[in-house]
Chains A and B, each alone.
Chain A
Amino acid sequence: MKGLRIIVLAKQVPDTRNVGKDAMKADGTVNRAVLPAIFNPEDLNALELALRVKDEIPDTTVTILTMGPGRAAEIIREGLYRGADGGVLLTDRAFAGSDTLATSYALSQAIKEMGEFDLIIAGRQAIDGDTAQVGPQVAEKLGLFQVTYVEEVLKVEKAKITVRRRLDNGVETVKAPLPLLLTVNSSAPDCRSRNAKLLMKYKHARTVTERQAATEDYLYLYDARPFLNIHEMTVNEIKSEAGQLGLAGSPTKVKRIENVILQAKDAKRLTAADKGINDLMKELIDSHVIG
């Protein structure tokens, strides 16, 4: 069977699962500097799903597309070490402040520049927002069918794919035509680890910006080994309307943010003493929380 051309959508996210006390600034905003930046967990599940298709159908190519700041190239390298064939970093100040809709617009315009594809696979959601919106929004913008909450590809046929979805209360087997967009759950298999050979092969993979900043004497490598070029795509390389990008292209605005951790510090403290517990139960009944 002919190999599939797969694009994996991935995001570099701050690790919100291990948030320390200094993660929030006094003004209630997130102190991204102290949080480690990681490959969004469910995007790793998505990558694994793509690599498994590639294991089955050897001609398959897997290309990672990520939008983010320059340092997001790290997750493309991470993907290359695990078996991806290439990556595109979509990066530009014009994308700053994008909500999910503006993000999906930029990603879909970038995908249009990446040539033909059979499958787009994304993680169900990113841990810094948990919205699960970008996948379906990209599918709509590209006029693709979508299947969300996927945990396994069961069968690939000519122009068709069968997958299993994991829902809250059970599973569903779904058959869909290609090209198609899938989003993948954390219930899918974990991503394989780095491969030592691939690590050696791709450790000098760089975007053009990274190459300019590099002091190392590896520059000759990029002509000799074109696979070390991570494609950096800016707003100039996609067809876009300015009104659809970044803050201007984002219908949702954040009106206000409150820091949960600071808020919780005014907890009422009680002991096993009768009066306190009696007052607590009264208070909960009066506020209709219980009773």
Chain B
Amino acid sequence: MPTPATQIAGDPLSPAKNRGSQGALPLTAKQIAAADQSGDDKSALSGVDVTNVRLLGLVMNKVERVTDCSFTLDDGTGRIDINRWINEAPDANEVTAIQNGIYVKVHGHLKGFHSKRHAFAFSVRPVTDFNEVVLHFIECIFVHTEIKKIRGGGSAEIPTNLTVASSFPNGAKEYRAPSHQFSAYVAMDGPGNNIYNIVWGVFQEPANLGRENGLHVDEIVRKLGIPKNTVINAINYLVDVGHIYSTVDEHHFKSAYNG
């Protein structure tokens, strides 16, 4: 998921500053290759400087040595070489579980350029629930659209989450709930119109971001002039989706972004 750290890491002024704190972005092999081909590391990834990635695919051509294990990961969109160093006994166990032809989920660090592009894996786990395969690619799509939105690039061509939801003709109802959940992200781009966005907007005001203890519930009630229950509901929701967190007591909350 595009975390605050991802956004900061994408800032051209501080390319390396947050390298270590950046989350692992779910990507397809095609996305990595496309970024390489354009000669610009950042184009296909919408301007985000990516180092840590999450990949999922089939294991091929596994070669196990004493010090490391290498294999080719085929995720159906392309193939990329993966290397896993064996430092301790648990690493060796993990490597033993990797077999040709099985699905694995890889968290790793992208290295090299162009055709030499490969990844050093931190972890390689066999997939046991195959719904994860679908989930991974849906996450790739989701993160792609969110990054584009956050970067403000090509928002005209990027569908809203509601459009994505409506692409499921038979399952529109089931998918409506998550799409609504993402509406708080939309608030980052501009003024929203539902209560979550309005409350979220208060937390995002620069003066409030800088306050160590965050905001008291009553302050928001006074500022917005809306019923306390409504504000508390919105706050609970924003806490659940991870946009804000409680600070010194259960009445104070602070934005999880940039603060």
A binds B: no
Partner-B contacts on A (CB < 8 A): none
